[in-house]
Amino acid sequence: MNAFKNTIRGLFQYPSAVLGITVVLVLLGIAAYALITIPYSEAVRLWRGGEDVWYQNPRYAAPAWFNKFSKVKKPVSFRVNTADGSMTKTVTPASDDIASEEIAYSFDYTYDTPPQEMNLYFTTKFDTKLPFASIIWHTPDGREIKIANMAVDRKTTYRFSQDPRLQKSLKTDQVMSALFMDPNSETPKIVKGTYQLEIIGATFESGSDIDVEFVFHGDLYGLAGTDKYRRDLFLPLLYGTPIALAFGLVAALGTALLTMVIAAIGTWYGGWVDELIQRITEVNLVLPFLGILIMVGTFYSRSIWLMLGITIALGIFGGAIKTYRAIFLQSKEASYIEAARAYGASSSRIIFKYLIPRMVPLLIPTLVSSVPGYVFLEASLAVLGLGDPILPTWGKVINDAFADGALYQGRYYWVLEPAVLLMFTGLGFAMLGFALDRIYNPRLRDM
């Protein structure tokens, strides 16, 4: 326990270590938060969800905070619904059966470009007689545009841009521009101010009802933006954290521990055991690690846990085994080992109780420093198209973005968000590992 305290005290002498610890702790916090708020199955369902899950989001939306840094303000997406009360609905009964429903939503529009799209999702209740709805658009400069009159079935979707009748009456197929721009201005200019969407509905049965969801697809969305499939990127960024950490930590720990045990066994028994381990290490050196992972990913399964297993299996006989061996060879001759032998300790007791524990301080910096490599390995596999097909990971996001040419098309946020997170993770662990190395290897301390 004292050693632990000393380590902590030592760490605080290095600003980079404090930074590293902060990053690691923040990441662990995010990971815990992600696992608590979104269950595994839910994350997978959302990530794999199509249009039915994500219809409320625009495609290719940059994060909403972009407006803070941009001169041209772009519209931010939103959605309102009468079912949850975010859009007002007043029902006025006219007779026993007939009622009129007035649904209205006003919003301030202060952006410089028209939105991508506006959609209305009607959900109605009736037995035989379809309810009726007229949609009216009020602009801030006092114009009133009739959008549509229509009977609404149980599930009806109305897309403003795709209504040929509306296009005809507005005399353009750029519906969004027509609705948001000043028709009298010479140069195209957005009319800023309060817009109102008004829906006047009529129901013809008792118990019949209309509910509407108004989905406004701007160019910006949420904290992280969306991708090609309208998915909120916040989900993979958040949920990618525990996956990346799990992969990195388990792989680093598994590899380091197993390597150490094998090196200890080899040096302790010596002879052919040692020789065999050395030869395996040499063969392992020429085995193309990534190539094998790729083969397994292509031929058998892309499950991240299988990849993890293979990573550990191939990593055990890495270059580190030689370093450990050299150190074990020295400590094998130490007098405390001799003492243990003298009292008749068994080989396994000596290996696990005397040889390995002495090495643990040396193991810790290596272990922490090797985490980034594995985190990036997972991302690399995903970028190669071998990421786990069902899990939302950072690498997957980069892969999707690359496949869609995000860099060529200027959608930098899509690549940069996961990239920055990966970078933070990598640097955080690396800085911590670096400082630990200096603490446990006093020779490095004043160099």
To another protein, the closest distance from the beta carbon of 223 in angstroms equals 21
Strand order in the sheet with 132-138: 88-93, 99-109, 193-203, 132-138, 144-151
Please say which residue, 133 or 421, places its beta carbon nearer to another protein: 421
CA end-to-end span of the chain, whole Å? 28
Q: Which is nearer to another protein, 142 or 291 (CB)?
A: 291
| Cα gap 431→3, rounded to integer Å | 20
Give φ, ψ of 21 to 5 degrees.
Answer: -60, -45
Q: Which residues pair with 202 in a beta bridge?
A: 100, 132
Closer Cβ to another protein, 124 or 241, answer by number: 241
CB of 414 to another protein, least distance (A): 11
Can you name the residues that pair with 198 across neighbouring β-strands?
104, 136
Nearer to another protein by Cβ, of 104 and 292: the residue is 292
User: Considering beta carbons, is residue 136 or 294 the nearer one to another protein?
Assistant: 294
Of 72 and 94, CB closest to another protein: 72
C-beta of 48: minimal distance to another protein in Å? Answer: 21
A 10 A CB-CB count for 316 gives: 23
Q: How far is the CB of 398 from another protein (least distance, A)?
A: 8
Closest approach, Cβ 417 to another protein, in A, equals 12
Question: What is the rounded distance in angstroms from the CA atom of residue 435 to the CA atom of residue 14?
Answer: 7
CB of 236 to another protein, least distance (A): 17
User: Based on CB atoms, which residue is closest to another protein, 392 or 395?
Assistant: 395
| Angle formed by the axes of helices 412-440 and 356-383, nearest 10° | 170
CB of 438 to another protein, least distance (A): 10
Residue 172 per-residue DSSP state: S
Distance CA 179, CA 208 (A): 31
Query: What minimum distance in Å lies between the beta carbon of 365 and another protein?
Result: 12
Sequence-ordered alpha helix ranges (H) in 130-233: 164-170, 175-180
Asked if 402 contacts 415 with a C-beta cutoff of 8 angstroms, the reply is yes
DSSP 355: I
Residue with smaller CB distance to another protein, 27 or 197: 27
Nearer to another protein by Cβ, of 334 and 444: the residue is 444
Collapsing DSSP to helix, strand or coil, 383 comes out as helix
The pair of structure tokens assigned to 228 is 């090609």
| Residues near 295 by beta carbon (within 8 Å), at least 6 away in sequence | none
Q: How many residues does the chain have?
A: 447
Rule CB under 8 A: which residues touch another protein?
16, 20, 282-283, 285-292, 294-300, 319, 369, 372-373, 376, 379-380, 383-386, 398, 402, 407-408, 410, 412, 415-416, 419, 422-423, 426-427, 429-431, 433-434, 443-444, 447
Residue 433 beta carbon to another protein: minimum distance, rounded to whole angstroms: 8
